[in-house]
Amino acid sequence: MSLYDEGHTIAGWTGVGIATAGGGLAGWGVCVSSPSLIVIGLALVAVSPLVAWALHLTGRGKAPGVRPREEWGMRVRDTRAREGHPGCVGCRLAGRGRRVATTPVAASSSGAAGAGAGSRPLSPVE
């Protein structure tokens, strides 16, 4: 048995359920020639990842990777979601997760800080 428990979450199943309903509605709209049903179905498909992402950020999703067996349950809430999961694209998009400290770089006199009114920036071929 795998130690990875990917997608077995409330966030994952809710997103898939909304996308499936939207796809079915759009398909039904094609069958009955109804542009409004097609648009509504495609809108549901477009909203489904946003709903899953929001649920993931509230702790109803889980981090990617190996987890202990006691965290495998679908109803187990992830208490580490507020800090962000390492390696999680959804958490990174929300501004959570690993923060990289940046150090300011001193500008040299030939760089952008030294550019005066009559000078122009150098191109890569110069």
| Averaged pLDDT score across all residues of the chain | 76
pTM, to two decimals: 0.64
Q: How many CB atoms lie within 10 A of CB 27?
A: 13
Q: Is 22:45 a contact under the CB 8 Å cutoff?
A: yes
How far out from the chain centre does Cα 23 lie?
21
Q: Which tens digit of pLDDT belongs to each residue from 42-85?
A: 999 999 999 988 888 888 877 766 777 777 777 777 777 777 77
Comparing CA positions, the residue from 12, 79, 19, 72 lying closest to residue 47 is 19
Q: Which tens digit of pLDDT belongs to each residue from 91-103?
A: 777 777 655 555 5
The dihedral through the CA atoms of 79, 80, 83, 87 has a sign that is negative
When pLDDT is averaged across residues 1-27 and rounded to a whole number, the result is: 84
